[in-house]
Amino acid sequence: MLFLQIIRTAYRGILANKMRTSLTMLGIIIGVGSIIAMLSIGEGAKMQVMESISRFGTNLLRVRPGAARLGHIRTSNVETLTIRDAETIAREVPGIRRIAPAVARSGQTKFSNKNATTMITGTTPEYIEINNFQVADGRFFDETDIKLVKRVAAIGSTVRRDLFGESPALGEEIKIQGQTFRIIAVMAEKGQSTFADPDDQIFIPISTSQRRLFYQEHINDINIQVEDASRIPAVKEGVERVLRERHRIAPDAESDFTIRDFTEMVKTWQETSRTFTVLLSGIAAVSLLVGGIGVMNIMLVSVTERTKEIGIRMAVGARRKDILSQFLIEALVITVCGGIIGIITGTSIAILLSRFGQWDTVITVWSIVLGFLFSVIVGLVFGIYPARKASLLDPIEALRYE
Amino acid sequence: MNIIGCLDRPTSGAYTLNGTRVEDMDDNGLAAVRNRNIGFVFQSFNLLARHTALENVELPLFYAGVVDARPAALEALKEVGLEKRVHHRPNELSGGERQRVAIARALVLNPPLILADEPTGNLDSRTGKEIMEMFKDLHSRGTTIVMVTHENDIAAHAQRIITIRDGKVLSPA
């Protein structure tokens, strides 16, 4: 029997029971659709992690004052970390590419009649390189500005928008905590991160922040970029040793600072998002399995109902394999049609999720191929038993069946 | 009848059709014999309800691997005088017309043997007569027709009559 003819026969068999077939197909549509949607969510999460990596910068360590205690990072306002600590680390710990101490406090900014509360970061030029910030306009302050304790500022794009709207900001003077600063740079937009908006930030020389603005000797963090990932543990250890020594901490006492390893954090996220994807896809696969059982169920009913037809076909010369392929292809038509509709549905859901929901979704070609393959496999696996049953019918019994 | 039609193999004894021993054939071989050498005409017509007359007649052609089955099927339907009803489904046809579709299906591959199991059993006598005329015509062109019937006047059409009662051959004529 010709392939086209089998397809036509299968098509007719399916059309004969529209309601039944569409309900069966719905199981496959939901299964394949949810697999596509879940994979796109997982893929989106992976992308987000990748983006965070590039946003944070790579091989980053951050030292903060205060001990880590059961999930709480800072226990109190510890004022132990100083620029000298950073300098000593830079001198004594090998494997560090860049190091930048920073004072970070929120402050009030004002331009003409506009007010904004934003993060004021007093630091050195290395900070922006460690943390992957780019200057969009103007120049970032340099060592001379720090030495001369200049009142200059580099503002983030969110601050620029809040204070200046569409008008130019470069060269304007703004008030920070009542003090006048000249804007010498506008930073390029970095984009929303998971924790805070890195663009809602003003950078000023660290000396200015300590002596002219916040009047504080201590610093709030030390940013360290390690030469390469393999040296992260060694550098971490070195930093710990130097700081404990400088802070005169007894060997059995807790450190009064915390070292955060961003590479490790990113790795943890990656693993979490992978687990998440596997879990969701697993649930989706189970629903596809249930859909497949539905197909098998309906095919068994169909074989019983059409016993007479099978007998007639055998009498006019159908071989067992003709009957087998007829019913197998009928099951495949159901699952593949369901699969294609499911792919379309799943893709639409993913697109809607990223447009109207909080989810970032990415649809990859391989997830579509996978969805299609699954629908074929389900058709084969759950179609073969009913089809075999049909092909093994005794022609005489089948002809006698009413 | 099932054994003559190659739907079943004899459990004992031998059946040779056209020089081939049927009891030695496998399922595929039997299917091929049914397809090529035997045409079936049943009392209850046994047409596929969802398919048109034309598609029913095309069926043996498809299983024989004929690529374009339509011309031969149309020809067979014309032969039984149904050229105007080819796109009707069985439930849109009268009993006589249905049986003629079944005959067209039986003869479409020109088998040397047609098996008819009470072909007139579900038909009124006038239609039954028409069917018998059709068989006679086929017979005159060289097709062997084996028919089972309870009616003596239908049996009278045959060249050779074998009477069977309760499974025993009574009168080999």
C-beta atoms of A314 and B7 within 8 A: yes
pLDDT of residue B67: 82
Q: CA-to-CA distance for B9 and B4, rounded, in angstroms?
A: 9
Measured distance CA(B86)–CA(B81) in Å, rounded: 10
How many Cβ atoms sit within 10 Å of the Cβ of residue B137?
A: 12
pLDDT at site B2 = 79
To the nearest whole angstrom, how far is the Cα of A322 from the nearest Cα of chain B? Answer: 8
- Ranking A66-80, A343-357, B19-33, B92-106 by mean pLDDT, the lowest is A66-80
Position A356 scores a pLDDT of 85
Cβ-nearest to B50 among A1, A16, A396? A16
Residue B164: band (very low, low, confident or very high) from pLDDT cuts 50, 70, 90: confident
**Contact residues on chain A for B27, CB-CB shorter than 8 A:** 319-320
Longest dimension (CA), chain A: 105
Q: Among candidates A141, A256, A399, A93, which has minimal Cα distance to B5?
A: A399
Mean pLDDT of B128-155: 89
- Domain of residue B125 covers 16-172
Q: A98 pLDDT exceeds 50?
A: yes
Q: What's the CATH code of the domain at B24? A: 3.40.50.300
Q: What are A's interface residues with B at a Cβ cutoff of 8 A? A: 1-2, 5, 12-13, 16, 308-309, 311-322, 395-396, 399
Q: In the block, which residue shows the tokens 């179609």?
A: A383
User: Residue A308: its chain B contacts at CB < 8 A?
Assistant: 46
Q: State which residue of chain A sits closest to B111, comparing Cα positions.
A: A316
Q: What does the pLDDT look like over A116-136, one tens digit per residue?
A: 899 999 999 999 988 888 899
Instruction: Tell me what pLDDT residue A36 has.
Output: 92
> Is residue B6 included in any domain, yes or no?
no
Between chains, do A317 and B48 touch, taking CB under 8 Å as contact?
Answer: no
**pLDDT-derived band at A194, boundaries 50, 70, 90:** low
Give the A:B interface size as CB pairs under 8 Å: 64
Query: What ipTM was reported for this prediction?
Result: 0.91
Q: In this prediction, what percent of chain A has a pLDDT beyond 70?
A: 94
For chain B, what percent of residues have pLDDT higher than 90?
Answer: 32
Structure tokens at A209: 């922040």
Summarize pLDDT for A44-55 with one digit per residue, the tens: 888 877 777 766
CA A48 and chain centroid, separation: 3
* Per-residue pLDDT at A71 exceeds 70: no
Task: List, in order, residues 6 or more apart from A99 with CB less than 8 Å away.
Answer: A86, A89, A90, A126, A130, A222, A223, A224, A225
Nearest to A204 by CA among A217, A193, A213: A213
Q: Which chain A residues are Cβ-neighbours of B47 within 8 angstroms?
A: 312
A309 to chain B: nearest residue by CA? B48
Name the pLDDT band for B25 (thresholds 50, 70, 90): confident
Tell me how close the Cα of A318 comes to any Cα of chain B, in angstroms. 6
Q: What is the pLDDT of residues A202-255, one digit of tens each?
A: 999 999 999 999 888 889 999 999 988 888 889 999 999 999 999 888 888 888
Rounded to whole angstroms, the Cα distance separating B145 from B5 reads 12
Q: Which of A308, A316, A323, A402 to mutate to test the interface with B (most CBs of B within 10 A)?
A: A316
Whether the per-residue pLDDT at A74 is higher than 60: the answer is no
From residue B19, give the alpha-carbon distance in Å to each of A43, A175, B16, B22: 68, 112, 6, 9
CB contact under 8 A, A314 and B34: yes
The mean of the pLDDT values for chain B is 88
Stated as kind and residue range, the H or E segment containing A396 is helix A395-400
Band of the pLDDT at A5, cuts 50, 70, 90?
confident
Cβ within 8 Å of residue A264, ≥6 positions away: A232
Average pLDDT, chain A: 87
Q: Which of B5, B7, B63 sits opposite A318 (nearest CB)?
A: B63
- What DSSP designation does A209 have? I
Whether the predicted pLDDT of A72 surpasses 80: no
Hey, is A47 helix, strand or coil? helix
| Helices marked H in A17-155 | 18-56, 83-92, 126-130, 143-147
CA distance A25 to chain B (A): 22
How many distinct structural domains can be found in chain B? Answer: 1
Closest to A20 (Cα-Cα) out of A294, A401, A307: A294
Long-range CB pairs of A374-377, under 8 A, 24+ apart, other chains included: A374/A31, A374/A32, A374/A35, A374/A285, A374/A288, A374/A339, A375/A28, A375/A32, A375/A335, A375/A336, A375/A338, A375/A339, A375/A340, A375/A342, A376/A332, A376/A335, A376/A336, A376/A339
- What sign does the CA torsion over A265, A271, A274, A279 have? negative
A369, pLDDT greater than 50:
yes
| Secondary structure class of A207 (helix, strand, coil) | helix
Secondary structure element (H or E) that encloses residue B110, with its range = none
Supply the pLDDT for residue A75.
47
- Amino acid type, A14: I
How far is A25 from A27, CA to CA, in rounded Å?
5
pLDDT at A192: 62
pLDDT at A301 over 90: yes
Q: What are phi and psi of A216, to 5 degrees?
A: -135, 145
Contact A395, A315 (CB under 8 A): yes
H/E run at residue A103:
strand A96-111
Higher pLDDT, A212 or A263: A212
Query: For residue A2, what pLDDT band results from cuts at 50, 70 and 90?
Result: low
pLDDT of residue A10: 79
* Number of C-beta neighbours around residue A37 at 10 A: 28
- Chain A hits for B28, CB-CB cut-off 8 Å, are 319-321
Alpha carbons within 13 A on the beta-carbon side of B120: 22
Residue B9 in any domain: the answer is no
CA separation, residue B111 to residues B60, B63, B145 (Å): 11, 14, 10
Residue A8's alpha-carbon distances to A1, A302, A330, B21, in angstroms, are 11, 16, 10, 36
- Side-chain-side CA neighbours of residue A89 (13 Å): 33
Would you state the structure tokens that stand for residue B17, as one six-digit string?
């059709």
Strands A221-226 and B16-17, by their bridges, are unpaired
- Residues pairing with A260 in the sheet: A62
The Cα angle at residue A4 between residues A3 and A6, in degrees rounded to 5: 65
| Cα(B34)–Cα(B124) distance, integer angstroms | 29
**Nearest beta carbon to residue B105 from set A311, A316, A319:** A316
Given an 8 Å threshold on Cβ–Cβ distance, is B46 in contact with A399? Answer: yes
With beta carbons under 8 A apart, name residues in chain A contacting B32.
Answer: 317, 319
**What's residue B92's pLDDT?**
93
Kindly list the residues from chain A whose CB atom is less than 8 angstroms away from the CB atom of residue B7: 314-315, 395-396, 399
Helical axes A320-356 vs A307-315, angle rounded to 10°: 130
Best of B59, B118, B122 to disrupt the A interface by mutation (most A CBs within 10 Å)? B59
Over 70: is that where the pLDDT of A199 sits?
yes
Write down the pLDDT at residue A8: 79
Paired with A183 in beta bridges are A153
3-state secondary structure of A292: helix
Q: Which range, of A20-29, A250-259, A372-381, averages the lowest pLDDT?
A: A250-259
Shortest alpha-carbon distance between residue A310 and chain B (Å):
10
Residues B2 and B10: their CA atoms lie apart, in Å, by 9
Q: Which residues of B touch A2 (CB under 8 A)?
A: 62, 65, 67
- The answer, yes or no, to whether residue A68 has pLDDT greater than 70, is no
